[in-house]
């Protein structure tokens, strides 16, 4: 029996988690650079994905930067622009998404000004929301992080953040975060390795990073097959029940093995470039899955309205001054 493909929703869940890992690694780099970051508890939590936490302030020994205020100013400006040009019932949803995206982009710019360089990768165009900058590699300050390492550090950071809130609405991430990474020395060392001697095996890591999604999928499929098998055969006696358990166990093992094999085979080489643009899911994030999408999810040619002005920034020694205010953006758009 063929292994069911991950659904569009499951693919999107995986892509959202990768965004959270990116925020996690940026927070990690801030802490390594003697900053602390205050975050806000999420109003709603997801069981199947990792989520970006709203950043309230970024602090060093002398200054507190009102990060949340700047992000909300830009997101509100984008919302007002959309309401003026293309009003719809999706404006509020776009506004909420923009707050997440702008926060990620501004955080990247902030960290960039601390001496780190980011190699970005191509992402699909967006029509009514700010386009998220996605990281493929980080260098600078005696560190080189490849994508797998970005994911590992980011995931571990997000998991640590989740433990901080307790009953509080806000939590501050500081030097204690570094205790979670004893394997990384101080100061940061170059952890880039050649392809043959890398500590991270690409296939093994691919299986690990999607393990949660694969396991959920396996359980759902196994449960459905058990129910169908039981109904079809109307099994009531103990002997039959034992047979069901044995059959179910075999099915589970086969599904798990097949999914892992598919993921490993698909991850054997990185694609040189995406063959398709996908509307709902980032194809690069899902290169480890055997993903087949219908034509309805392919991006069609369309005019891009993505608020370029809100993603511009001004050169400054102080990272937080890279922000444009809404009036600054408005002036840029009028030029």
Q: How many CB atoms lie within 10 A of CB 256?
A: 16
Please indicate whether residue 27 or residue 229 has the higher confidence score (pLDDT): 27
Ordered by start, the domain boundaries in the chain are 8-193+300-330, 206-294
Distance spanning both ends of the chain, measured CA to CA: 60
pLDDT at 102 over 60: yes
> DSSP letter at 278?
B
- CA angle, 102 then 119 then 18, to 5°: 55
> What pLDDT, in 10s, does the model give residues 4-23?
677 888 778 888 899 999 99
pTM for the model stands at: 0.59
How many CA within 13 A on the CB side of residue 137?
9
Q: What is the pLDDT of residue 48?
A: 82
């Amino acid at each position: 029996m063929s292994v069911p493909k991950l659904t569009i929703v499951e693919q999107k869940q995986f892509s959202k988690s990768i965004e959270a890992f990116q925020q996690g690694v940026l927070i990690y780099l801030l802490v390594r650079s003697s900053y602390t970051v205050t975050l806000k508890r999420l109003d709603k939590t997801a069981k199947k994905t990792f989520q970006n936490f709203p950043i309230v302030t970024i602090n060093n020994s002398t200054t507190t930067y009102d990060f949340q205020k700047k992000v909300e100013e830009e997101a509100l400006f984008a919302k007002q622009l959309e309401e003026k040009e293309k009003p719809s019932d999706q404006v509020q949803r776009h506004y909420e998404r923009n707050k997440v995206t702008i926060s990620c982009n501004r955080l990247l710019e902030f960290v960039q000004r601390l001496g780190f360089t980011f190699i970005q990768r191509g992402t699909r165009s967006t029509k009514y929301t700010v386009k998220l900058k996605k990281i493929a590699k980080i260098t600078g300050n005696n560190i080189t992080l490849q994508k797998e390492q970005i994911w590992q550090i980011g995931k571990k950071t997000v998991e640590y953040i989740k433990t901080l809130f307790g009953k509080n609405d806000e939590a501050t991430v500081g030097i204690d975060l570094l205790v979670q990474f004893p394997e990384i020395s101080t100061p940061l060392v170059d952890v880039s390795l050649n392809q043959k001697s890398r500590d991270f095996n690409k296939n093994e890591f691919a299986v690990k990073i999607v393990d949660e999604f694969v396991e959920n999928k396996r359980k759902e499929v196994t449960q459905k097959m058990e129910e169908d098998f039981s109904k079809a055969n109307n099994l009531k006696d103990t002997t039959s029940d034992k047979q069901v358990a044995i059959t179910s166990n075999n099915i589970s093992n086969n599904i798990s093995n097949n999914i892992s094999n598919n993921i490993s085979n698909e991850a054997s080489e990185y694609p040189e470039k995406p063959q398709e643009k996908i509307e709902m899911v980032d194809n690069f994030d899902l290169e480890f899955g055997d993903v087949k999408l219908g034509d309805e999810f392919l991006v069609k040619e369309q005019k891009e309205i993505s608020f370029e002005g809100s993603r511009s920034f001004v050169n400054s020694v102080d990272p937080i001054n890279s922000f444009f205010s809404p009036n600054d953006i408005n002036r840029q758009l009028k030029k």
